[in-house]
Amino acid sequence: MATTELVDNDVNGTGGPEVDSKYRLIILAAKRSKQLQRGAQPRIEIDPQKHKPTRIALEEVMRGRVHFTIKEDGQKEG
């Protein structure tokens, strides 16, 4: 089974794999939402006072502003 990991260093909207399933979209948005709740700045122009972190995160993922890597089972980090 593959796992999904967020990458924080590339925020310009280029590179990286596309979201290939609804399941991966939800996992990415949930992880990004946690980052936003912990104080991360939104990567899109949106008023954080009017929108919840989950909505902001989902929009970021759909616009390609959240980058991630897919690791297969047994693949080591590093």
What does pLDDT average to over the chain? 85
| Burial class of residue 67 in the structure, from the number of CB atoms within 10 Å of its CB (0-12 exposed, 13-18 middle, 19+ buried) | buried
| 45 within 8 A of 20, measured Cβ to Cβ | no
Domains identified in the chain, total number: 1
Q: How far is CA 71 from the centre of its chain?
A: 15
Which residues face 5 on adjacent strands?
69
Residue 27 lies in a domain: yes
pLDDT tens profile 11-33: 454 556 788 899 999 999 999 99
Residue 77 lies in a domain: no
Domain of 33 in residue numbering reads as: 3-71
Whole-model pTM: value is 0.75
Which 8-state DSSP code applies to residue 5? E
pLDDT at residue 11, as a whole number: 47
Sequence-separated (6 or more) residues with CB below 8 Å from residue 8 = 35
Residue 76 lies in a domain: no
Q: Which has the higher per-residue pLDDT, 73 or 51?
A: 51
Q: Is the pLDDT of residue 8 over 90?
A: no
